[in-house]
Structure 1
Amino acid sequence: MAVAGIPVDFILFALTLLGVALFHHHTLYVGLTGMVVIALYKLSFADFAGVPGIAGLVALFGHEWVTLANLLGLLLGFALLADHFGRSHATDLLPRILPDDWKGGFCLLLIVFVLSSFLDNIAAAMIGGSMAAVLYRNNVHIGFLAAIVAASNAGGAGSVVGDTTTTMMWIAGVSPMQVLEAYVAALVAVLIFGVVAAHQQHMLQPIMKDNPTGVRLDLPRLGIVAFILATAIAVNIWFNLNRPEALQHFPVIGLAVWVALLVSAPLRRPTWSLLPEALRGTVFLLSLVSCAAMMPVERLPVASWQSAMGLGFVSAVFDNIPLTALALRQGGYDWGFLAYSVGFGGSMIWFGSSAGVALCNLYPEARSVVQWLRFGWHVALAYAIGFGVMLAVVGWAPDAHVFGGHPPTSKSEMKSP
């Protein structure tokens, strides 16, 4: 079924996203309602990847449950990790290092950018949000929050270990060097939105000039943060190198984070009271991911630099995992351009990436599409300029090879959660 040529599935998803934009104080209920309505429609009038009825729904989520479970474990785990980092007082010592004007905020964004090149972008965004809360006395501008998310996504765009979509390309057969060129656009983008956002933040709340008196670094908590991140990275690398068949349909990475949290709990107890609020934001994200998983993503335009650029805007409201999978099936893309588009594009709206949703668990006031676009306009501008610079400097060099007849279509089939 379609209206004016647009499948009803997409219309229902668009209405769900519109509801999120209009009723941002009730995003959980809007997301869950949209998920149920879309599922009921497809059960009654459509199918799930060619399989109709309950059997199709069961088959779909039989694949997607690993994605959802990994996201659940990562988002909740990184909420506690960010709290550990904040309570280590490491951020209290940053004023000694960072400039005490707008350049301090800019340097903070660069730190997030670098962290995300080798860490999960969720962790980089959460750490950046924790640092900003201390440095700006919990008075953080929404434009700066958008910049933190953008920095975390831009930092992972050119690294096959820094973002789910680039890892997905690597697993399918794309060379890491083909993805690396995305940093040409990402570096241009971070210079643009970073400078603007740093000025926005400085005008609202200047950075602390002096370290708080009597601050003592909690080394055990800092060690726990390093231990959790190292565990997640080590398990990720081991899993992707070995890809044990018995664990292919198991949320390995999400569980690894929680094992690390529980093992380190006797040394420093996590703030378990943070979990209920973090769970609300996480369930909302999972509802949107579920909606995206039910969409018929096969109706995309032919590969070109124009369509690659358009995918960046689409990924702001649509799960970039099926978009990337479809691009791999199509072939004909310059994978560096695609990595930048689908990796960075989600920063333009707060729920467009896992990093944005996770950060909004710390800053609920940012859960407004209107406010995000109003104050984070520089992210969309930086995306377009970065893409243009990359097109002029690197040039569009499409790869006609189709990477694998069946490239991974869900995070359970990828090397990264």
Structure 2
Amino acid sequence: MTLAGLPLDFVLFALTLLGVALFHRHTLAVAVTGMVAIALYKLGFGDFAGVPGVQGLLGLLAHEWVTLGNLLGLLLGFALLADHFERSEVTELLPRILPDDWKGGFVLLLIIFVISSFLDNIAAAMIGGAMAHVLYAGRVHVGYLAAIVAASNAGGAGSVIGDTTTTMMWIAGVSPVQVFEAYAGAIVATLFFGVVAARQQHACQPIMRDNPRDIHLDHARLAIVAIILATAIAANVWFNLRHPEVLNALPVIGIAVWVALFATAGWRRPTWSLLPGALRGSVFLLSLVMCAAMMPVKALPAPTWATTFGLGFVSAVFDNIPLTALALRQGGYDWGFLAFAVGFGGSMIWFGSSAGVALSNMYPQARSVGAWLRGGWHVAVGYILGFAVLLAVVGWDPEGHARQKPSAPSVESPAPVQTQPHKP
């Protein structure tokens, strides 16, 4: 069935995204309603990747459950991790090393960028959000929140362990060196939006100038944070290198985070009361991921630098995981360009990446598309500038990557979630 020439399931998905944008105080209800409506329509009138009825739906769930499981484990686990980090009081020591003026906010964004390059964009955004909450006495500008998300996504765009989409490319056979070129655009974008956002934040609320007295650094909580992060990184690297087939069968990364959380709970008890709120945000994100997974995306336009540039804007409203999987099956892309486009592009709207969704759990005021676009306009401009530098300096060169074209079978199973999704 079609409406105005568009498949009805695409129309339902567009209405769901529009509802999220307009009714940001009811995003969970809108997302779940949209997911159920799309599923019911496809059960009655469509199919799931060519398989109709309940059998098709069950097949889709079997295909997606590893991605969903990893994402759920990371979102909930990193909510507790960020709380450990904040309660360690280490963020209250940052005024000693950060400049007192707007440059302090800029340096903080660079720290988030670096953390995301070797960790995960969800964790980097949530840790950055926790630090900003302390440094700015809880008064954080929406434009600066957008910059935190953009810095976390930019840092992961050139690293095969820093973002879900780049990990998918790695598993599919793309060399880490090919992905690394995305940093040419990511660094330029960060320098631009970082300066603008830092000045926005300084005008809204200056950075804390002096350390509070009676700070008692909790080394145990810092050690727990390090253990959880090291466990997630070790599981990611080990299974990617040694047993990639396990990553396609089990949500290994999410499980690793929770093993570390329970193993260290006797040392410092996590704030379990945070889980209900984190769960609501997680269900919202997973609902959007499932909506995207049910779309009948058959093919993309011929891969060129122009279509890849457009995918960055599509990624802001359409889940980047199925976009990346489809691009890998299609082949012919310059993978560094694609990594920057789908990895960073989701930063332009708060629900366009899992890092943005996770941060919005800490800052509900971020769940306004209008406020995000008005305050975070510099992220979109940074994307355009970064892509232009990629094109001018690196150059579109898919033929140079033909020797390492990813194989289609390895893409059929979703990659383990690091972050982001979505940059949901």
TM-score where L is the length of structure 1: 0.97
1:338 aligned to 2:338?
yes
1:16 aligned to 2:16?
yes
Q: In 2 relative to 1, CA 238–45 (structure 1 residues): closer, same or farther, beyond 3 Å? A: same
Aligned-partner Cα distance in 1 for 2:74–2:310 = 29
Give per-residue Cα distances to partners, 1:333-375, cap 9 Å, x unaligned.
1111000000000000101111000111111111111111110
Alignment of 1:135-150 (within 5 A): 135-150=135-150
Tell me the number of residue pairs that the alignment of Structure 1 and Structure 2 aligns: 416
Query: How far 1:255 sits from its partner (Å)?
Result: 1.3
Aligned-partner Cα distance in 2 for 1:109–1:339 = 20
Aligned-partner Cα distance in 2 for 1:283–1:119 = 23
Contact between 2:153 and 2:163, CA under 8 Å: does it hold in 1?
yes
Which moved further from structure 2: 1-10 or 181-190?
1-10
Aligned-partner Cα distance in 2 for 1:414–1:128 = 23
Aligned to 2:264: 264
Contact between 2:299 and 2:326, CA under 8 Å: does it hold in 1?
no
Aligned-partner Cα distance in 2 for 1:244–1:23 = 40
Aligned-partner Cα distance in 1 for 2:103–2:305 = 34
Task: Give the partner amino acid of 2:396.
Answer: W
Contact between 1:158 and 1:339, CA under 8 Å: does it hold in 2?
yes
Query: How far 1:247 sits from its partner (Å)?
Result: 6.5
Query: How far 1:328 sits from its partner (Å)?
Result: 1.2
Q: In 2 relative to 1, CA 140–246 (structure 1 residues): closer, same or farther, beyond 3 Å? A: closer
Q: CA RMSD in A?
A: 1.4
Gaps of 5+ in 1: none
Task: Give the partner amino acid of 1:112.
Answer: I
Which moved further from structure 2: 336-345 or 67-76?
67-76
Alignment of 1:19-38 (within 5 A): 19-38=19-38
Aligned-partner Cα distance in 1 for 2:245–2:163 = 23
1:406 partner SS: helix
Aligned-partner Cα distance in 1 for 2:135–2:212 = 10
Query: How far 1:45 sits from its partner (Å)?
Result: 1.2
Contact between 2:172 and 2:408, CA under 8 Å: does it hold in 1?
no
Aligned-partner Cα distance in 2 for 1:340–1:237 = 22
Contact between 2:143 and 2:375, CA under 8 Å: does it hold in 1?
yes
Contact between 2:149 and 2:347, CA under 8 Å: does it hold in 1?
yes
Contact between 2:120 and 2:418, CA under 8 Å: does it hold in 1?
no
Aligned-partner Cα distance in 2 for 1:134–1:410 = 40
Query: How far 1:256 sits from its partner (Å)?
Result: 1.0
Give per-residue Cα distances to partners, 1:270-295, cap 9 Å, x unaligned.
11111111111110001001101101
Query: How far 1:250 sits from its partner (Å)?
Result: 1.8
Identity within the alignment, %? 73
Q: 1:405 aligns with which of 401, 405, 408?
A: 408
Contact between 2:70 and 2:417, CA under 8 Å: does it hold in 1?
no
Give per-residue Cα distances to partners, 1:355-410, cap 9 Å, x unaligned.
00011111111111111111011101100111011111111112374421324245
Contact between 1:240 and 1:415, CA under 8 Å: does it hold in 2?
no
Aligned-partner Cα distance in 2 for 1:33–1:151 = 32
Gaps of 5+ in 2: 420-424
Contact between 1:116 and 1:124, CA under 8 Å: does it hold in 2?
yes
Aligned-partner Cα distance in 2 for 1:303–1:246 = 31
Task: Give the partner amino acid of 1:70.
Answer: N
Aligned to 1:220: 220
Aligned to 2:321: 321
Contact between 1:322 and 1:410, CA under 8 Å: does it hold in 2?
no
Give per-residue Cα distances to partners, 1:287-322, cap 9 Å, x unaligned.
001101101122421100011001111111111111
Task: Give the partner amino acid of 2:306.
Answer: Q
Contact between 1:171 and 1:414, CA under 8 Å: does it hold in 2?
no
1:269 partner SS: coil
Query: How far 1:185 sits from its partner (Å)?
Result: 0.4
Aligned-partner Cα distance in 1 for 2:67–2:247 = 13
TM-score where L is the length of structure 2: 0.96
Task: Give the partner amino acid of 2:409.
Answer: H
2:398 partner SS: coil
Give per-residue Cα distances to partners, 1:83-122, cap 9 Å, x unaligned.
0000001000000000000000000000000000000110
